[in-house]
Amino acid sequence: MNRYAIYAIYRFEMARTFRTLMQSIASPVLSTSLYFVVFGAAIGSRMGEIDGVSYGAFIIPGLIMLSLLNESISNASFGIYLPKWSGTIYELLSAPVSFVEAVLGYVGAAATKSVMLGVLILATARLFVDYHIAHPLWMLLFLALTAVSFSLFGFIIGVWADGFEKLQIVPLMVVTPLTFLGGSFYSIGMLPPLWQKIALFNPVVYLISGFRWSFYGIADVNVAISLGMTLAFMVACLAAVWWIFRTGYHLKA
């Protein structure tokens, strides 16, 4: 294992984040804070509890997931797309660096940024609503697994994209709608029976449900299923990344 190569890629990607703090960290935290103000304080104060949890506290896991998914994808996709766009990807491919080491560097940095952002949003939420975390270790596990899984997914998107506009297609047109419809602001148990069954086909439901369980011990689906779905998605992404480097898809063309 070439630890120097992993560290070099990781340090370069993290340095890019700290050079663009306003865009990488401050902007997502500010956007999520506006959700807390509007939905948590203004609207939430006029709504009742959901499963014994105040509405402002109930939406915290969903809002963290909303930012976490989008930022994980954006960080990882932009990180690998830039070398493709500038042509420096060929230096990486010709260097004595395996695909495992390259992925560890890029995806590790993207996941680190996302976890940092999730923790910052969690701390910011304390300014607006009171909440408790029933299972802190499980919360950190779900946070880390989701960040790594969607960073891998973002890495795949960055390899697939052949233009900057394509980097935003999946996050804006697929992931964000699925997150809003996945129970970020409500429990799917509040839906009519037919729509509850339809909602179970939304993979984001399992992520938000498991993450919310780690906070309040309540979930729309069994927590073991949520964990299994997260791990299955990670394995699928790992298989796709292995295939990309094995075939050189959109890397060597």
Residue 7 Cα distances to 19, 20, 96, 176, angstroms? 18, 20, 14, 32
pLDDT for 55: 85
Residue 242 Cα distances to 28, 57, 83, 163, 247, angstroms? 31, 40, 19, 23, 9
50 in Cβ contact with 176 (< 8 Å): no
Where residue 69 falls among pLDDT bands split at 50, 70, 90? very high
112 in Cβ contact with 24 (< 8 Å): no
- Which of the pair, 29 or 182, is modelled with greater confidence? 182
Determine the Cα–Cα distance for residues 122 and 95; give it in Å rounded to an integer.
40
pLDDT for 212: 94
Those residues whose C-beta lies under 8 Å from the C-beta of residue 84, and which sit 6 or more positions away, are 158, 159, 250, 251
**Which pair of tokens denotes residue 30?**
């500010």
What is the average pLDDT score of the chain? 86
**DSSP summary character for residue 47:** S
pLDDT for 82: 85
Q: Give percent of the chain above pLDDT 70.
A: 95
Tell me the per-residue pLDDT of 175-213, one tens digit each, with 9 for 90 and over. 888 988 888 888 888 888 898 899 889 989 999 999 999
Tell me the per-residue pLDDT of 75-128, one tens digit each, with 9 for 90 and over. 899 888 888 888 777 777 777 878 888 889 999 999 999 999 889 888 888 888
Cβ neighbours, 10 Å, residue 46: 7
Tell me the per-residue pLDDT of 147-162, one tens digit each, with 9 for 90 and over. 999 999 999 999 998 8
pLDDT of 42 over the 70 cut: no
pLDDT for 57: 86
Domain boundaries, the chain: 3-247
